[in-house]
Amino acid sequence: MLAPILSARMCAMSGHSHWSTVKRDKASADAKRSQIFSKLSRAITVAARMGGGDPDSNANLRLAVDKAKEANMPKDNIERAINKGLGVASDGQSYEEVIYEGYGPSGAAFIVKAVTDNKNRTVAEIRSMFSRLGGSLGGAGSTSYIFGQDPENPSFTVEVGDPETAGKLERLHEELDAHDDVQEVYSNFSVVVN
């Protein structure tokens, strides 16, 4: 008589567990939240670097902090991002601004501005992104002549008509922009639709 009770319980408990569903949903939500927090943190860092760390006197910082609060970003993360923009970390580490220059497929030029606490790590990660997508990281001054004083308006553009190459360039731009240390990415390519 004991055996039928055990088998009935085992049948009732077999199948999908509630935790696996919750875990999957939680992982998805956490990944989205992390991506949002990363972008908001970058915006706060840039605003603090450009106009100072006081939200009362820096309208861009106040706007970025308000957006972060709307997204329920923890106060510690907001303060850490402000300190990163000011060049001082809470643990005493200092951050410095670095500029990387490189070429993507078809000779498209890139300038990548980053704020990092470890230049060696950041340059290795940036170089890896360029290499993986058919580009190469150049030395100082290798592409800056194309962008001059206004990186948003390069002196010339590289027109890309091949869909595969255009996809690689767009993916490279997106991956560079998504990197935690990267603040701004400029390029001189334009996709030509045939």
pLDDT at residue 131 greater than cutoff 90: yes
Asked if the structure places residue 53 within a domain, the reply is yes
> Cβ atoms within 10 A of the Cβ of 118, count?
13
Q: Where is the domain boundary, 94, 112, 145? A: 94
Asked if the structure places residue 179 within a domain, the reply is yes
CATH of residue 166's domain is 3.30.70.980
Asked if the structure places residue 20 within a domain, the reply is no
Closest CA to 105 of 134, 129, 130, 139: 134
Mean pLDDT of the chain: 85
| Count of the separate structural domains present in the chain | 2
CATH of residue 46's domain is 1.10.10.200
pLDDT at residue 194 greater than cutoff 80: no
Task: Name the residue range of residue 139's domain.
Answer: 96-191
d(CA 188, CA 163): 17
Six token digits for residue 42? 């970058």
Asked if the structure places residue 68 within a domain, the reply is yes
pLDDT of the residue at 190: 87
pLDDT of the residue at 32: 84
Q: Do residues 176 and 121 both lie within one domain?
A: yes
Asked if the structure places residue 2 within a domain, the reply is no
- Beta-carbon contacts of 183 under 8 Å, excluding residues fewer than 6 positions away, are 42, 45, 46, 49, 97, 113, 114, 115
d(CA 37, CA 168): 26
pLDDT of the residue at 127: 95
pLDDT at residue 26 greater than cutoff 60: yes
Q: Whole-prediction pTM value?
A: 0.64
Q: Do residues 167 and 107 both lie within one domain?
A: yes
Q: Do residues 48 and 85 both lie within one domain?
A: yes
